[in-house]
């Protein structure tokens, strides 16, 4: 009985969990693409960046490259496991200037204020990276909409 209670508690907790990140009023971004993957060409990197940027603009009306933007990092890392088989991680980060208080003093710092990632194994690394960016963009848009509902 106790096991069932804890399983139900954990299930409900994960269903109704709130993100530890806040995306309130985040709408001005500058995208930086970090390519630590051996399989992406410069042209493919530009295409992936454009894909994410266009999706964010069309779905939520985000603005890019205005003064004082929040930095959106898209980072792709890979390791070739076997001939043509890759382990790939794709990360989305938001980084911005924030003010924290310590010992009654305000400290300005540059901090990560959002992070989401995915890990995959792939034989078609470009297509799978595109799908991962699509997935992470959807996750980001969902979190943004949840935080900005009025």
The answer as to whether 16 is a domain residue is no
Is residue 2 assigned to a domain? Answer: no
What does the angle CA 30 – CA 143 – CA 48 come to, to the nearest 5 degrees? 40
- Are residues 60 and 145 in contact, defined by beta-carbon separation less than 8 angstroms? yes
What's the order of all strands across the beta sheet hosting 70-82?
63-64, 28-36, 70-82, 85-102, 105-122
Residue 106 inside a domain? The answer is yes
- By the 10 Å C-beta count (0-12 exposed, 13-18 middle, 19+ buried), 132 is classed as buried
Report residue 97 as tokens. Answer: 């200037």
Whole-angstrom Cα distance, residue 34 to residue 91? 10
Residue 98 lies in a domain: yes
Q: Which domain holds residue 104?
A: 26-147
109 in Cβ contact with 98 (< 8 Å): yes
Question: Does residue 8 lie in a domain region?
Answer: no
Give 96-136 pLDDT, tens digit per residue. 998 988 899 999 999 899 999 999 999 999 999 999 999 99
The answer as to whether 119 is a domain residue is yes
* List of the chain residues with pLDDT < 70: 1-21, 150
| pLDDT at site 13 | 43
Q: What is the domain count for the chain?
A: 1
Residue 7 lies in a domain: no
Q: Hey, is 37 helix, strand or coil?
A: coil
Give me the CATH number covering residue 93. Answer: 3.30.160
Tell me the pTM.
0.81
Phi, psi of 44 (to 5 degrees): -65, -35
| Residue 12 covered by a domain | no
């Amino acid at each position: 009985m106790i096991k069932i209670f804890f399983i139900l508690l954990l299930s409900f907790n994960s269903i109704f969990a709130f993100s530890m990140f806040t995306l309130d009023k985040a709408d001005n971004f500058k995208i930086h693409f970090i390519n630590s993957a051996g399989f992406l060409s410069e042209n493919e990197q530009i295409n992936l960046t454009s894909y994410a940027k266009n999706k964010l603009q069309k779905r939520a009306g985000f603005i890019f490259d205005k003064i004082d933007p929040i930095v959106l990092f898209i980072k792709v890392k890979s390791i070739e496991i076997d001939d043509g088989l890759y382990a790939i991680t794709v990360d989305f980060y938001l980084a911005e200037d924030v003010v924290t208080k310590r010992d009654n003093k305000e400290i300005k710092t540059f901090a990560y204020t959002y992070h989401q990632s995915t890990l995959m194994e792939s034989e078609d690394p470009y297509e799978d990276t595109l799908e991962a960016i699509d997935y992470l963009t959807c996750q980001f848009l969902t979190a943004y909409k949840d935080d900005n509902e009025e």
